[in-house]
Amino acid sequence: MRDYVVLTGMILETGPVNDYDKRLVLLTKERGKVTVFARGVRRQNSRLTAAANPFSFGTFKVFEGRSAYNLAEAEIQYYFEELRQNVEGAFLGMYFLEYASYYARENNDEIELLKLLFQSIRAIVKGTIDLRLIRAVYELRILQVNGEFPGIPENAGLSKGTVYTIGHIVNSPIEKLYTFAVSDTVLAELTALSDDYRRRFTDHHFKSLDTIDAMK
């Protein structure tokens, strides 16, 4: 009898394999980023079809293969279906998935990254905060989660409100990240700083950003 592993996490990306299968990449609490094959999930009568899509968050019962996991069951708590009616929010969410996938590693402790991703997608869906602010918060905090946040730049001419907000972003519990609003001045400074830091501290071209930039 095969030994199963239960993983809690979110699907970062999917891709077709053969005629009826899918390759899933998950960010999990227990084993970091893992690859899971969902056999037969593209068949019309598959009970796992709805569970094998990006943004799906829940528990995944898998068994280990020689080079990857194979999906046996899934219990999804959040599908984030609201993103289907929010084009701008959906593309921002895809960017967040891609960014998380860039940093995540297999068998690494990625609990904080998973929490950040989950809360950020929830903030998009909730719709009470400017998407530009959500993006800036995510971009700054993901650097802190991965130990790459360089601190608040000196002599950058940032307003006191921006300095205070950056401190809140990098030091607050993740569950409290998306509970505030800022002025237009602070938002502009945060956006410029987060964009600059992303360019300086990542060496990856995020394809999802091309679509976001094209929508502006």
Per-residue model confidence as pLDDT tens digits over 110-136: 999 999 999 999 999 999 999 999 999
Each residue's pLDDT tens digit, 162-205: 999 999 999 999 999 999 999 999 999 999 999 999 999 999 99
pTM of the full structure: 0.95
Q: Does the pLDDT value for residue 1 go beyond 60? A: no
Each residue's pLDDT tens digit, 40-96: 999 988 999 989 999 999 999 999 887 789 999 999 999 999 998 999 999 999 999
Letter string b/e over residues 6-22, b meaning 16 or more CB atoms within 10 A of that residue's CB: ebbbbbbebeeeeeebb
Report the pLDDT value the prediction gives residue 155, as an integer from 0 to 100: 79
**Do strands 57-64 and 4-17 pair parallel, antiparallel, or not at all (unpaired)?**
antiparallel
**86-215: which CATH number, 3.30.2450, 1.20.1440, 3.40.50, 2.30.29?**
1.20.1440
CATH number of 4-78: 2.40.50.140
The answer to whether 52 and 71 are in contact (CB under 8 A) is yes
* Domain extent listing, the chain: 4-78, 86-215
Q: Does the pLDDT value for residue 2 go beyond 70? A: no
